[in-house]
Chain A
């Protein structure tokens, strides 16, 4: 339900274990610092609610059952 960060495994250490292009490593580290910061908010972090699950799964299930009954 929360839109604040919940995926942080801790701040990047001096050796954060990233491999590959140094520029890209730095960019990944910079972005991870942003999106795992305590004050970071993003609507995308909001997980499906119970209503979302019922609507989403229910719509697909209703279509599947309805059309099968109609067409089979």
Chain B
């Protein structure tokens, strides 16, 4: 009976996923500026904002850290927001819209490899955060001194994944309810943190606090933070791309993105940086008890732990639904519980040594920058320069050979060459693993340069090759 219910639920999710990708008509766009700003705020104020802010403490102090975060977020969000304006304009689902750039089959690696891997990384980070929060509570209550890589951290992280599995497999109805309270409560946590930080510390003390492990060259340290702030901003791309089609106008979609993903994110990241400077620790789960006292600290840690379960579950649900919708038969027909197990099971590997991804969180962000920045840049060139903000809507769904967005058997080779050029540029400027950087990196960043190179290569290839051979529907667009 339980299996039958699970399968019925799986069938329903596939149906929902498929119907969730159809174009929206005017009456279905439910978000004006204020509504959408609230949605964006809820998205921005998740626990990872504290992590990003906390990681700045390795490289910079307060003022330079804030400046670098603002600079990185400004650049990243500018391109993310304009790259998804077409989704608002036409009410088109994100990966359907970018078939115009990558081709019908060309979008699949973005869904099945890039987006999938990024989400596994995020899931691992959040599971470790759950584990660290739990272990911090145990350390405080039992007087133990389990470290960040203790077996218990992995065990609790595994428990977080297991709970998320149950939620996603049995139906994430409860998530809707928790989500309504999660964002306001996290905002309350933010206010409580600001209160306690300024009760214990002055602005002068905060600005005088030194970073933990700087390179020693201010320009390099500054750019390292710009880099992961920029990468953090571009990591919103798939989520923003899908949500923005529910906005009523392009203007409200863009400004709501600025309110939530820029202003609110920066406030949360700045609070994270202040706390990290105060306690000389980048881990948000290490701040709460010393900052607010035992009782309130434990309450906040418990809330953070469950907020992370919600985020993991929502993410797992969305990724697994996306895996079923884009025309890979064995995934579309795979048992729902098996698909969820594969996704969450892969995140378990990140629990073997929790510090590897959690304490090097900013390096994970660098990988996101490497993967997302070139496609975002390419989409901007294609939509604004070549298509003049006009898409052939029928062609987005037309799988016939020779259809406008068919390119070469459903793949736009030019787009992939441009992505490769962007990735190569990133690698030539910064190694996300060793943090080796080239002489140009402190002035160009790696994410931004890779985006610009991908844009230029895409422009040249499309102008000189794709258009001339009559591919891509540029003549009729």
Contacts and interface: CB of A to CB of B under 8 A. Distances in A.
Contacts of A9: 392-395, 398, 404, 473, 476
B250 A47 contact: yes
A59 B194 CA distance: 26
B54 interface: no
Contacts of B71: 64, 67-68
A52 B254 CA distance: 10
Contacts of A56: 78, 81, 254-255, 258
A32 B392 CA distance: 10
B74 A60 contact: yes
Interface string A5-41: 0111110100111111100100110011011100011
Contacts of A34: 25
B85 interface: yes
Contacts of A52: 251, 254
A36 B18 contact: no
A18 B90 CA distance: 18
Interface in B36-77: 63-68, 70-71, 74-75, 77
Contact of B64 (A45, A61, A64, A71): A71
A52 B19 CA distance: 33
A67 B67 CA distance: 5
Contacts of B23: 28, 31-32, 35
A56 B250 CA distance: 12
Contacts of B392: 7-9
Contact of A35 (B18, B248, B393): B393
B288 interface: no
Interface string B450-470: 000000000000000000000
Interface string B317-331: 000000000010000
Contacts of B68: 71-72
A60 B394 contact: no
Interface in B17-34: 18-19, 21-26, 29
Given A19-B327, A24-B19, A60-B74, A31 B25 contact: yes
Interface in A41-72: 41-48, 52, 56-57, 59-61, 63-64, 67-68, 70-72
A44 B66 contact: no
A69 to B, nearest CB: 8
Size band of the interface chain A makes with B: 35 or more
A28 B21 CA distance: 9
B440 to A, nearest CB: 19
Contacts of B90: 7, 35, 44-45
* Residue of A52, A59, A64 ringed by the most chain B CB atoms within 10 A: A64
Contacts of B395: 9
A64 B74 contact: yes
A71 B258 contact: no
A17 B390 contact: no
Contacts of B222: 72
Given A19-B327, A46-B250, A48-B250, A31 B22 contact: yes
Contacts of B63: 70-71
Nearest to B263: A63
B366 interface: no
Nearest to A49: B251
A17 B74 contact: no
B88 A44 contact: yes
B407 interface: no
B89 A44 contact: yes
Given A8-B392, A45-B89, A60 B78 contact: yes
B284 interface: no
A20 B18 contact: yes
B253 to A, nearest CB: 8
Contacts of B404: 9
A57 B74 CA distance: 9
Nearest to B245: A44
A55 to B, nearest CB: 9
Contact of B399 (A19, A59, A63, A71): A19
Contacts of B15: 21
Given A9-B395, A21-B15, A44-B88, 15 more contacts: A9-B392, A10-B394, A24-B18, A27-B22, A28-B397, A43-B249, A45-B89, A46-B249, A47-B85, A56-B254, A60-B75, A60-B258, A67-B66, A67-B67, A72-B218
28 contacts: A7-B392, A9-B394, A9-B398, A9-B473, A18-B397, A18-B398, A19-B399, A24-B21, A28-B23, A28-B397, A31-B24, A32-B394, A32-B397, A40-B26, A42-B91, A43-B248, A44-B90, A44-B248, A47-B85, A47-B89, A47-B389, A52-B254, A56-B254, A59-B258, A63-B74, A64-B71, A68-B71, A71-B68
Interface of B: 15, 18-19, 21-26, 29, 63-68, 70-71, 74-75, 77-78, 81, 85, 88-91, 218, 222, 247-251, 254-255, 258, 262, 327, 389-395, 397-400, 403-404, 473, 476
